Amino acid sequence: MTDPVANLKAHKPEHEYFIAIDSDGCAFDTMEIKHKECFIPNIIRFWNLQSVSKYARTAAEFVNLYSKWRGINRFPALLMVFDLLDEWDKVQKRGFASPDVPNLRNWVETESKLGNPALEAYCREHDEPDMNNALAWSKAVNETVGMIVNKGLPPFPNVRECLEKAKAKADMLVCSQTPTEALTREWEEQGLAQYVFAIAGQEMGKKAEHIEYTSKDRYDKQKMLMIGDANGDLKAARANGAMFFPIMPGNEDASWRRLYEEGLDRFFAGTYAGAYEDELIAEFQACLPETPPWKA
């Protein structure tokens, strides 16, 4: 079987510019439905959070949708939900303690490819209840996504136009922490896969690694751009010396229109970095708080 990471590392540029694009919540309006209808119900079910379900839902929505951690990998996000519940006074008053998951915490800290294939490999070698449950939960999430988010979800307005505008000058990569199978299905279904040279999901490592594998020593740093809707996307860009264009959570349509009307032109003209990018990032970071509303 061909190593997908090896395929990323073997990428040969066809154009002078490089653009990495996040998918969920960035190119596609899928974040809300995936988390509210697929992730969170399965968190409550598999981790026995029924007695504090309304707090678990609020905590999970904050971590995954409405905070600076928006878009992080599902496994560290799950641990953050547990930690927020343990710190929440209203939850403590109910005598609730979140699940004890020592092996999952260690795996999240030490594993570089936080996806089901790596977790399955771990569970084949170790019979640990928290890890077995984490795998069952993650598989159930994917199954639910496949049933609920299976078709008919188009990209945000102007995504296709931006890809069409950039294709003659830039090599484009899908760079995401969503499973590759789901990404490929969504991009192919909407006819967008034709614009990118690869679709990189969680099994191929972190977003910063995706960009490094495909761009290192191949593109001028001033000709690299990451398009994303989360702080993790900004960090992935900065880790590789790339510029960043934010898709503002809650204002995605206007963001893609701005990228189409001015952002791409500035990027290709070499006038993107500096005051223009700084203003965009300041506006973006104001959208994603660090403190939960129940603590503010």
Residue 92's region, left for phi above 0, alpha for psi from -120 to 50, else beta, is alpha
8 alpha carbon, distance to own chain's centre = 18
List, as own/partner pairs, every contact residues 132-136 make where C-beta atoms lie below 8 angstroms and the sequence separation is at least 24, other chains included. Answer: 133/46, 133/47, 134/75, 134/78, 134/101, 134/104, 136/46
Please calculate the CA angle 259-269-213 and round it to the nearest 5 degrees.
Answer: 75
Average pLDDT estimate for 77-99: 96
What is residue 3's predicted lDDT score, i.e. its pLDDT? 79
Q: What is the mean pLDDT of residues 37-46?
A: 98
Sheet of 243-246, strands arranged across: 198-200, 170-175, 17-21, 224-228, 243-246
Q: Given pLDDT bands bounded at 50, 70 and 90, which one contains residue 2?
A: low
Structure tokens at 104: 């999952």
What percent of the chain clears pLDDT 70, i.e. is strictly above it? 98
**262-293 confidence digits (pLDDT tens):** 999 999 999 999 999 999 999 999 989 999 99
Domains and CATH numbers, the chain: 4-29+155-285 (3.40.50.1000), 31-148 (no CATH)
Q: How many Å apart are CA 117 and CA 113, to the nearest integer?
A: 9
Mean pLDDT of 149-165: 90
Cα Rg of the chain (Å, integer): 19
Confidence tier at 150 by pLDDT (50, 70, 90): low
pLDDT of residue 283: 94
151 pLDDT above the threshold of 80? no
Residue 75 has a pLDDT of: 97
d(CA 252, CA 254): 6
Rounded Cα–Cα distance for residues 234 and 196 (Å): 20
